[in-house]
Amino acid sequence: MPFFLFFLIIYFFFFFFFLFSPIVADDGAVMKKLATSLYSTPSDWKSNDFCSWTGIRCDKSKRVTSISLASKSLSGTLPSNLNELSQLQTLSLQNNQISGALPTLANLTNLEEVYLDNNNFTSIPQTFFTGLTSLQNMSLSQNGNLEPWNIPTDLADSSSLVLFYASKVNAVGSLPDVFGSFPNLQSLRLSYNNFTGPLPKTLSGSGIQNLWINNQLLGLSGTIDVLGTMTQLTQAWLHENAFTGPIPDLSNCTSLFDLELRGNQFTGIIPSSLTSLPQLVNISLDNNKFQGPFPAFGNGVKVSLGTTNNFCKPKSSPCSPQVTALLAVAKDIGYPMNLATSWIGNDPCQGWTFITCDAQQKNVMVVNFAKQKFTGSISPAFANLTSLKNLLLNDNNLSGSIPVVLTNLTQLRVLDVSNNNLSGPVPVFPHGVMLKLAGNNSSIAHGLVAGIVAGAVILMAVVIFVICRCYAKKHKQKIGLVPLPQNDKEMGKNGVMGIANGHGGFGNELHSQSSDDTNEVQVFDGGNVAISILVLREVTNNFSEENILGKGGFGVVYKGVLHDGTQIAVKRMESAAMGTKGMKEFQAEIAVLTKVRHRHLVALLGFCINGHERLLVYEYMPQGNLGQHLFNLNENGYSPLTWKQRVTIALDVARGVEYLHSLARQSFIHRDLKPSNVLLGDDLRAKVADFGLVKNAPDGKYSVETRLAGTFGYLAPEYAATGRVTTKVDVYAYGVVLMELITGRKALDETMPEDSSHLVTWFRRVMINKDNIGKAIDPVLNPDDETFGSICKVAELAGYCTAREPSQRPDMGHAVNTLAPLVEQWKPSSHDEEEGYGIDLHLSLPQALERWRSEGTTDTVNYSFNNSSSTSRGDTQSSIPPNTFNSMDCR
């Protein structure tokens, strides 16, 4: 028996020794090595308990999860076995002077964030990125001493990648094909390297928003056509490269605000799809070889054109007809560089290559493109050079067919297209035209027969009637329940057919609740909210420049003034710039807004469909948006918001969003909450705007997979990573807005150093130690003790709201409950102050309507801060807490 015990003890001893102790010892060994290979480590790094060292965090089993030593003046090197810290999630060593070889990070499957920028590393191993399956943020920028290296394709293992920063790291070779494969990649920065070759075609459809590939030593080359498919782009820096060809159609890149193209070899004319981009504010085109008319960008756009481009002069007039025709010809062969450098000025008879004019030097007589290796097609625009006698296109690589309109050239004597790759029927030219067709696809000869048949085709004239499809019909009384309020700024009188007042929309709600008809637009047909385009034109001064309030997602917003002085905001969206996505968005917006009425949500008053245009009419918010009051105050002439105003705005937004989230029967998720979508009234009370991205969460489902929408800087991590959207993505974005209110800083501030440009990361880092909060507060607030206490509470709430795990974020009701007492500190609720704010929307809509009908006025329903957050869960028709409607007992 004692022997048995003895063996048992020995057995357990060895069991623990061999199985457990080495795991614990492992991190210890690596950490010890780290402590000795780095210089100037914090003084507490001498102790044995590495988990207590400054900058180190461990999990419960004493495994290191985080190393955070940014800007600590560290030098020395990193141990080569760093990747034995297998639980490591965060490695932040940016802004030091660490040198030597970077260790491999291979197979650190928990690693999410790596910041190594701004050091002196000298080499990077091939396996550096292998198996980093959780990696989201990788920043290596500003390590200019690295030996030349290629980005390994193993990076493809990191399928959750969100940010990849490797600017100024001496990277060479072609851009690897991996970047198009990351569904969540938002920001790719590879500036100041020596990448060469073309943009990978696999970038097509990528959701990258922020693309910096400027200043490559020899230059990236080829065309930038793929940009047209990268519809999420906001900022694209391509300057100082060797790109060629024209600017592609970027009309689907509706969020693009900054496009830097200077210092390349671009050619062609500036397309109107570029000048009309709705968000564009910054564009550089200098040091290229652009041609054609001077581009006309909108007023607020900062443009640099330089002196090397050859736009037609004088500046404001169009190019001459012959120049226009020849540039159209050049377009169909891809605007070759040899034409761009020679075709200068507004008269092709002044020394343009390949062009010969008549004796008076007025009209183009000969175009001779023979043997130029041109590709592309023969442009129908040759037909506009009406004096053309000889057209020599032989010995190129032109494809396509010969345009029929060339038969209209009455002066034509010779058309030589021999030795190309043309196909299709040959049109029938008049007698006396010498055609040279040899050396093309055989079908071109057989095509002659077909050509004769084609010659008999009768020209068809298509008359397009532009039909205004706006519904100018009177209200059809399909609903029959909705009387017009007597005290309203109503229809008829002001000439606006059927602008709904704050209550008109309820009819739709009743209708949709009382039938199974789920087609929102049909519901709309019966509603009273369609407005004539003629009226909208009139009230916006024919959509004049002066009336522009702003340019937002998918359109321009105009101010309008009705005959009775009521101000409205008209959002006008062109379908050309919208595509089907825009149309869907339009319907989503109408469907949602008609259901949603709340004092803290901007009301939709009406809409109009006019051909390809979609217009929405909103209530006008005179004080602009929250962003204008927080950032760039001077530009807008606003004074800084006090803390009291900020926390009141925060509460308003919380209430608006809470209402969206808790609408009866279904939940609505905003998905793009940010300061520019928070509009302010004259009293600086806030309403949430722009439901264009709202996704209607279907019954019985808590999350919906969607195409990523929203704005970089406000995206919840799980949403960015998986596209799954719940109400918690709004809570996250709301937390970011709170941080902006506290700090006066933008969610993403590119002017800050990289480690503090992302507000959430920075703020959470600062707040690890509560004593630091003073550093984060907007300096203009200069808080007294009471205010400081209030700020702390909001900061804490902001922290909860931006928790990494959605389940750890509170719901909006919690935000309302937290903020309401803070607002009341300064602002005890009273009967008067809520006057004019309309109906209490915690009533179900039919109940609200009923109340309003019986009382004929709206301000008798009182609103209570304390109760608001606990209401409107589930079906509001049956669950209204009775005290919601009592007036506040203010003492």
Query: What positions carry a catalytic annotation?
Result: 672
- DSSP lists the bridge partners of residue 101 as 123
643-661 vs 812-826: helix crossing angle, rounded to 10 = 150
**Between residues 283 and 822, which has the closer beta carbon with respect to ligand NAG?**
283
Joined together, the tokens standing for residue 466 give 């532009």
Here's the x/- map for ligand NAG, 396-415, by CB under 6 A: it reads as -x-x----------------
**Between residues 439 and 485, which has the closer beta carbon with respect to ligand NAG?**
439
350 forms part of the interface with ligand NAG (CB under 6 A): no
Site for ligand NAG in 278-307 (CB under 6 A): 281-282, 302
DSSP label of 162: -
Q: How far apart are CA 533 and CA 614, in angstroms?
A: 10
Chain centroid offset of residue 587 CA: 20
Phi/psi region, residue 823 (left: phi>0; alpha: psi -120 to 50; beta: rest), is: alpha
**Between residues 26 and 249, which has the closer beta carbon with respect to ligand NAG?**
249
Here's the x/- map for ligand NAG, 360-399, by CB under 6 A: it reads as --------------------xx-xx------------x-x
Angle, CA 822 vertex, CA 816 and CA 827 arms, to 5°: 105
**Between residues 104 and 252, which has the closer beta carbon with respect to ligand NAG?**
252
Query: Please, what is the end-to-end C-alpha distance for the chain in angstroms?
Result: 81
Look up residue 247 and give its amino acid: I
Burial (0-12, 13-18, 19+ Cβ within 10 Å), 367 = buried
**Residue pair 781/703 in contact by the 8 Å Cβ criterion:** no
CB of 272 to ligand NAG, least distance (A): 12
Q: How far apart are CA 573 and CA 608, in angstroms?
A: 11
Q: How crowded is residue 624: how many other Cβ atoms within 10 Å of its Cβ?
A: 15
**Between residues 330 and 479, which has the closer beta carbon with respect to ligand NAG?**
330
Q: Which of 258, 585, 652, 840 binds ligand NAG (CB under 6 A)?
A: 258
Q: How far apart are CA 680 and CA 689, in angstroms?
A: 10
CB of 380 to ligand NAG, least distance (A): 4
Q: How far apart are CA 554 and CA 551, in angstroms?
A: 8
785-801 vs 643-661: helix crossing angle, rounded to 10 = 30
Nearest residue to 609 (alpha-carbon basis) of 524, 734, 666, 550: 524
**Selected range binding ligand NAG among 247-255, 634-642, 818-826, 832-840, rule: CB under 6 A:** 247-255
Angle, CA 625 vertex, CA 604 and CA 643 arms, to 5°: 125
328 forms part of the interface with ligand NAG (CB under 6 A): yes
**Between residues 144 and 579, which has the closer beta carbon with respect to ligand NAG?**
579
> Buried b / exposed e across 336-355, counting CB within 10 Å, b at 16+?
beebbeebbbbbbbeebebb
Here's the x/- map for ligand NAG, 190-229, by CB under 6 A: it reads as --------------------------------------x-
**Selected range binding ligand NAG among 151-159, 248-256, 618-626, 648-656, rule: CB under 6 A:** 248-256
CB of 282 to ligand NAG, least distance (A): 4
CB of 615 to ligand NAG, least distance (A): 21
SS3 content of the chain, % helix, strand, coil (to 5): 30, 20, 50
- DSSP lists the bridge partners of residue 195 as 173
Site for ligand NAG in 822-851 (CB under 6 A): none
Phi/psi region, residue 40 (left: phi>0; alpha: psi -120 to 50; beta: rest), is: left
Q: Which of 96, 184, 187, 251 binds ligand NAG (CB under 6 A)?
A: 251
Joined together, the tokens standing for residue 332 give 């169909």
**Between residues 251 and 858, which has the closer beta carbon with respect to ligand NAG?**
251
**Selected range binding ligand NAG among 245-253, 762-770, 788-796, 844-852, rule: CB under 6 A:** 245-253
CB of 543 to ligand NAG, least distance (A): 24
**Residue pair 331/246 in contact by the 8 Å Cβ criterion:** yes
423 forms part of the interface with ligand NAG (CB under 6 A): yes
CB of 273 to ligand NAG, least distance (A): 7
**Selected range binding ligand NAG among 206-214, 252-260, 515-523, 834-842, rule: CB under 6 A:** 252-260
417 forms part of the interface with ligand NAG (CB under 6 A): no
**Between residues 421 and 696, which has the closer beta carbon with respect to ligand NAG?**
421
CB of 752 to ligand NAG, least distance (A): 13
- DSSP lists the bridge partners of residue 399 as 377, 421
CB of 182 to ligand NAG, least distance (A): 21
Q: Residue 200, preceding bond cis, omega within 30 degrees? A: no
CB of 249 to ligand NAG, least distance (A): 4
249 forms part of the interface with ligand NAG (CB under 6 A): yes
- 40 CB contacts (<8 Å, ≥6 apart)? 72, 73, 74, 75, 76
**Residue pair 133/154 in contact by the 8 Å Cβ criterion:** no
**Between residues 242 and 281, which has the closer beta carbon with respect to ligand NAG?**
281
CB of 570 to ligand NAG, least distance (A): 24
CB of 599 to ligand NAG, least distance (A): 33
**Selected range binding ligand NAG among 26-34, 203-211, 244-252, 788-796, rule: CB under 6 A:** 244-252
Q: How far apart are CA 564 and CA 453, in angstroms?
A: 64
Site for ligand NAG in 143-162 (CB under 6 A): none
Q: Which of 252, 648, 677, 817 binds ligand NAG (CB under 6 A)?
A: 252
**Between residues 249 and 824, which has the closer beta carbon with respect to ligand NAG?**
249
Q: How far apart are CA 833 and CA 859, in angstroms?
A: 10
**Residue pair 97/75 in contact by the 8 Å Cβ criterion:** yes
Place of tokens 């935000």: 815
**Between residues 579 and 846, which has the closer beta carbon with respect to ligand NAG?**
579
3-state secondary structure of 865: helix
Q: How far apart are CA 740 and CA 744, in angstroms?
A: 5
CB of 192 to ligand NAG, least distance (A): 17
Joined together, the tokens standing for residue 772 give 């630091």
**Between residues 286 and 538, which has the closer beta carbon with respect to ligand NAG?**
286
Compute how many residues bind ligand NAG; rule: CB under 6 A: 21
799 forms part of the interface with ligand NAG (CB under 6 A): no
**Between residues 757 and 870, which has the closer beta carbon with respect to ligand NAG?**
757
321 forms part of the interface with ligand NAG (CB under 6 A): yes
CB of 422 to ligand NAG, least distance (A): 8
Distances 362 to 345, 348, 357, 372 between C-alpha atoms, Å:
14, 9, 6, 25
Residue 281 φ then ψ, to 5°: -125, -25
Site for ligand NAG in 575-634 (CB under 6 A): 579-580
Q: How far apart are CA 874 and CA 271, in angstroms?
A: 51
Residue 184 φ then ψ, to 5°: -105, 5
Return residues touching ligand NAG (CB under 6 A).
228, 249, 251-252, 257-258, 281-282, 302, 321, 328, 380-381, 383-384, 397, 399, 421, 423, 579-580
